Structure 1
């Protein structure tokens, strides 16, 4: 069980890395909801190279009745979250979604009956292997409380989303078993600080090197790991057990 304290983030990352099955990941998702006072977490793989089906992976804490209803009616095609999320590279606040059309009103009214969550953030995830996924957190807390927590959630779950994505894809058997990339000591150190939330300037200060040097080390690490950004690189090194944030 994830403890509800200041160290919960590190514990979440550790448990994600140690998960041995999708069932274990499902349990972790439920515990994260409890720790962060969330209604639900939804992980939805949209595209994975090599997968022969649409929406190849779903890991959801929603009511089973809603999941069945969603699949039976193929709501993937009308869900404003999925429709908007597939087109975006940036975090999507549900407050900015279409809720005025008849289809959207009907969809959200039905989702509310299953306690999906009135507020939400959806984070598009681009995996190192070319995967595309959506990671969503929802809440039924008051708008005042949600507004206080939203920015912090967006920052923290950006990293958690990548950790979970990488591990879920691996557990689902879609990860190639290639040799681990060989990173230099400086590249690993910069990634370690980045995993702890340090900005480039902070890393430079800790290592007593220039900002430009830090960016070069991070850039070369991303290239060696075949990752498009630092979030992906950190998640990949964690999943490969090269790094413990």
Structure 2
């Protein structure tokens, strides 16, 4: 299974939905690493309403020694990925991180000794209940190979990140089960095409409606699903089994 393989992606979504514990989700994360030729995956819940502590949930494939060192030294406060990721909304390629100061250089040098991964990309996740989380993939590839795979990673892991977040929050007991929302046929069709990577203009041409109408349907779907954006809505629809990945 490789990135861009629809069967691979669908199997991963199925496994995420079937996971009933954080331990099972960590096994899923390890499987994703193997399928996508990654070094590690890290899910980090930065803030969850109702949690008594910050950083309440971690699902990681890093070496146990690195995880223990990271937590005992409270690297949450200096990790450039966490510092930058919690401030933004867009996917963060580690290539663009500021490594000019000695704290960042020392941190990444230490992380490299524990095989964290030379390349990385992080997706900030804003949950429907006000949660904030970070989803990260890392790799040990040549620069040309990373550049070649990065586009497909960016597209596919955007949805995987939101879906995994929703499922982790649910199985951890931080989100109450609610009845499935009622979406119109047009709202579902627009979300389905958006999940396939279609732009509003392409969706409009396919459904024979204006791109403005597409945006309105997507907006109304987000409102009904209590989601901040289309990608989050797609992830929630998949988790509710109302949309195929």
Fold shared per TM-score above 0.5: yes
User: What TM-score comes out, normalization by structure 2 length?
Assistant: 0.94
Match of 2:160 in 1: 160
Aligned length: 243
**8 Å contact from structure 1 (residues 47, 133) kept in 2:** yes
C-alpha displacement at 1:83, in angstroms? 0.9
**8 Å contact from structure 1 (residues 40, 62) kept in 2:** yes
Match of 2:240 in 1: 240
C-alpha displacement at 1:6, in angstroms? 4.5
CA separation in 2, counterparts of 1:187 and 1:108? 44
Match of 2:210 in 1: 210
171 and 14 in structure 1: CA distance in 2 versus 1, 3 angstrom threshold: same
User: What TM-score comes out, normalization by structure 1 length?
Assistant: 0.94
2:163 alignment partner, SS class? helix
Match of 1:109 in 2: 109
Match of 1:78 in 2: 78
C-alpha displacement at 1:91, in angstroms? 1.3
CA separation in 1, counterparts of 2:140 and 2:184? 45
2:152 alignment partner, SS class? helix
Stretches of structure 2 lacking an aligned partner (at least 5 in a row): none
Match of 1:96 in 2: 96
Match of 2:193 in 1: 193
Stretches of structure 1 lacking an aligned partner (at least 5 in a row): none
2:244 alignment partner, SS class? coil
CA separation in 2, counterparts of 1:185 and 1:18? 27
C-alpha displacement at 1:221, in angstroms? 0.7
In the alignment, does 2:67 pair up with 1:67?
yes
**8 Å contact from structure 1 (residues 128, 236) kept in 2:** no
1:7 alignment partner, SS class? helix
Match of 2:140 in 1: 140
Deviation per CA, 1:212-233, whole angstroms, max 9, x where unpaired?
Answer: 2221111111111111110111
CA separation in 2, counterparts of 1:206 and 1:12? 28
In the alignment, does 2:174 pair up with 1:174?
yes
In the alignment, does 2:33 pair up with 1:37?
no
